[in-house]
Structure 1
Amino acid sequence: MSRYRFSIDLGETFTDFVLMDDAGRLSIKKIPTTIHDSTQSLAEAIGFFLQECQIEPAVIEALVVGMSVQMPANMAIGCARDLERQLVAAGWTTPIRLVTNHGRLLLIEEASTEAESIMFPRIGGLLTGRYFGNQIGQKNLVVLRIGGASAFVSLQTELSDTSMDALDQSLENQVKSFALGGNSYIGIDENKEPVLLSEHATPGPGPACFDRGGEYPTLTDADLVLGYLNKDYFLYGAIPLKVELAKKAILKYVATPLNSTVEEAAMRVSNGVEESIANQIRELTSAHSAPPESYSLLAFGGAGPVHACEIARLLGIKQVVVPVGAGVSSALGYLLVLAENDPEWQIPTAMQRAGYYNPTHRTGDFHALKGYRSVYYEKDLTPCGCPIYDRAGIRSEDTLSGPAIIEGPESTVVMREKSYARMDTFRNLWIYLR
């Protein structure tokens, strides 16, 4: 019988679930709800996820939770207690262990004496970057994650620095976190440029395109207007996106004040985000002898792979890698934290999606092609009839050329012209910029 470990990243705008067995098979879910809504709704969502996986809670040996959510630390402890009570009532036999920012795992009562240590544990992202960096054999890495409410950039320059102490030290001088994400609201700065604000849409109203009462435009709305996102495939299609509502919000709050078209305003937002993150990476690399163009970029998060290729181009980076489970990287990292704390559990050298279609024996070059849609790539705002590919339908060692968009359940990869992609045997997507 397989042994299972389960991790949860309680985010500000989305909550991520990752279930892994001994063979490295991953079951993944991203839901637009957080612990802000209620612990009851979260416990119910966990139960539904296990039903989808056909797994009983009693067979799960470890439950690891990361608190990436804006709330007082003592309140987070209380929510964790309440969630644990509800899970025990539903048949769970393993307690919740909370991840600290320094890579420890604490039972709830232990964490209550140092509650601040469990808030925003960036160590998960660092361990995910280290795991995939080792797997792909790249020495100099930029790890980029753009989620719903925040972004995270880190440098990894020596794969030999594999101890938790080394990673812990890198939190001080090789990591930048900032309030920027897919659900960040768009505003206008003193230079009359559209910018992302620190305020963001919460899961209730969400971005304007969610059609849940949100009035103000977000980066997600801009990405939808530019054609980067599939209006029918966001979170497995759980939230149909309304392009007309995104356009209406951008028109009212951005385009009209700037006397521009909706598409121009959306493009300026996208370009500004990419320049801002590129500048953050330049600051990190400036303290090291290796120039930015000597790095490879690992892209994570729901929005990271959308903007990664253009960020890489601005930096002169020629190689972008979007790993398996890129959209749930923090939750995946918490399982790696668990492995660091449990010597009896060896993380497999490769991970794969449980039940995920791996088209080893298919025939035909265009099996993964889903269709075409208009996408705005260039500043002249001439739309491109862009091919759209299903990531699950791409075989190992398949290649395809940009411009292209590659869609998965939790993240979307946007490729520009003069680039091509290859799927490796680990199901990591490599993108080469010419």
Structure 2
Amino acid sequence: MTKDLTKEDLENFQSAYEKTPCADVIARAVQENGVTAASKNFAAKANHDYVFSVEVETGKITNQKKSGRCWLFSTLNTLRQQVAKDLKVKDFEFSQNYDSFYDRLEKANMFYEKMIRLAERDDDDREYLFELEWGDEDGGQFANAATLINKYGLVPKSVMPETFVSENTSELNDVLNLKIKKDALEIRKMKKAGKTEEEMRAFKLEKMKEVYRMLVYAFGKPPVKFDFEYRDDDNQYHIDRNLTPKEFFDKYVHVDFSDYIDLTNAPDHEMYKHYSLSNQDYLFEGEHVTYVNVPIEELKAAVIAQLKGGKAVWFGCDVSKDMDRENGVLDTDLFKKGELFDIDLNLDKAGRLATRVGECSHAMAITGVDLVDDKPVKWKVENSWGEKNGNKGYFIMTDAWFDAYVYQAVVLKQFATDRQKEIAQTKPEPLKPWDSLG
């Protein structure tokens, strides 16, 4: 039997509050400064020196600004390292806008395809409603970036620079999602009227023309061919004429995305299993979103091996937890909110995933680690929030924060164990779109 709170309950609550030591002092501190500031642990600063025993050389910090393209920025940041070294251009940067254009185009196409596939489902069907809500946003995964790059190539940033919209995507997100969701209702009407899949796909292609036009207005027209012109760090002039984006990628970026493996640490799932999240794929051909679930120590070992091999590591985490954005610190000891309220706020990683308190919300690149007696104590992180955040754009991540809030890392297979590589060859178990890893 359910029961509302009574007057007696409220009196008991107030009585318990009044017996709490220093309750009014704490209340004044929280009310004046907020929960985060009132709970900040000054002593944690002792562990935040920017000295690392292993570091990868990197270029100028990038800035995704007000967009959700962290996954693309971090992918391109890990790829540019080799190109910058080969060309002797330390601050070389790929165009994020170029691949953003095709990212949104392909997402729109996949959205329409899903609406065609789900057109017979009930209006309250869970998968239909999930995909309808997902729409066409600017978030993504490493595998999405890999597939885009394999299909469309890359260009230098100077060839297709950022626009106001590429750096501030919320307005486009609103109008683009309104447009495609309106079209989704038309697809359902067509299905009910007995139209064939061919007729619905013809409708899709007409609507994709409109999407393409919107994206050109927002991001600019992607180049078909371009001249790659630059001066290296020795001030020597170079030019490579009449390249396609695919030719540029093949010639200057020596990477095979099939050589990578996506390791995850999701304790709410069975360890040493291969999982797939097909709802996050938006190309039928190419790299797919899959994970090999391993203990956190194995994931860290692979990351350390790749850093020692001189290569940065793409990783996904829950960045908003225990973060000092201004100073660029990720530390589980940074705030004492449980002590502040005198309550137990400890929830393990599996519990956070199971309750959806935890999620993989942001991607960055790990570019260094500080090892003491061969054990990691802190990590250097290259973010994509510009130089005004953190230490000129870099963040420091304690090893305890890594354990708690890092969910995935993409490493070259040469740095993975034989067991991990064998698991990656098995048929993945498909996860539902609303899985905690989604």
- TM surpasses 0.5: no
Query: What TM-score, normalized by structure 2, do the two folds share?
Result: 0.28
Bigger relative contact order (CA 8 A; separation at least 6):
2
Higher helix share: 2
